[in-house]
Chains A and B, each alone.
Chain A
Amino acid sequence: DGGITQSPKYLFRKEGQNVTLSCEQNLNHDAMYWYRQDPGQGLRLIYYSQIVNDFQKGDIAEGYSVSREKKESFPLTVTSAQKNPTAFYLCASMADREGNNQPQHFGDGTRLSIL
């Protein structure tokens, strides 16, 4: 079955540590997105990528980094510069970077906590 796989489901970070969240899709989608979800705040866009080897900052990119070396993969690194990383992180993809009236598809998320 096609879909988006996020791993791990739970992740713990120590102070000063970088951690990487995985997002893989087998939907052959061009565009991929990372959102952060905090209680009562909905989803906020961290980074998005419309094509391989290209990505743009979203509304809250500080303290995060991404790469898009392959179409199916869009890993997110939470760096030590992100002082409040505890949140639920959602990865999404969309069929066509031109939009063409397609909705986003979401993974099941990764919950990141600070030790």
Chain B
Amino acid sequence: AQSVTQPDIHITVSEGASLELRCNYSYGATPYLFWYVQSPGQGLQLLLKYFSGDTLVQGIKGFEAEFKRSQSSFNLRKPSVHWSDAAEYFCAVGLYNFNKFYFGSGTKLNVKP
């Protein structure tokens, strides 16, 4: 069965510090991978996506993610966090042959001043 694991429920970082949010997936083939961000009471906004090609993908708001097939991971990174990055982040796997998507349980990011 397909699954997406985000092992960190909460993460707190200081403003200006670097950030890495972990995501592991379980799927028999190369999946389509996404990172979304959600502010409280809002919908999900796409940060970046990976379909094929270069395993390091750039997204909006200075985020990037690296696909590592050997580790079944797609970790999200940002070199310097801003207070406005405080939100919940979701990793997702897309199965286009079934037109379905699976989401991780999310990681809540707090940013200390």
Please list the residues of chain A having a beta carbon within 8 angstroms of any beta carbon in chain B: 4, 6, 31, 33, 35, 40-45, 48, 50, 58, 90, 92, 94, 97-101, 103-109, 111
Least CB distance, A81 to chain B, in whole angstroms: 24
Number of A-B pairs whose CB atoms are under 8 Å?
A: 62
Q: B105 to A42, Cβ gap below 8 A?
A: yes
Q: Smallest CB-CB separation from A40: which chain B residue?
A: B105
Residue from B4, B34, B36, B100 having most chain A Cβ neighbours under 10 A: B100
Which chain B positions have C-beta within 8 A of A6?
Answer: 43
Contact A42 B32, beta carbon cutoff 8 Å: no
The number of chain B residues with a CB under 8 A from chain A is 25
Which residues of chain B from 61 to 113 have any CB-CB distance to chain A below 8 Å in the complex? 90, 94, 96-97, 99-101, 103-106
Alpha-carbon distance between A109 and B34 when the two chains are bound, in angstroms: 20
Selected contact of A45 from candidates B6, B34, B101, CB within 8 Å:
B101
Q: How far is the CB of A57 from chain B (nearest CB, A)?
A: 11
B34 close to A108 (CB less than 8 A):
no
A111: which B residues are within 8 A, CB to CB? 41
A112 → chain B closest CB, angstroms: 13
Which residue on A lies nearest to B46, using beta carbons? A103
A101, B90: Cβ atoms closer than 8 Å? no
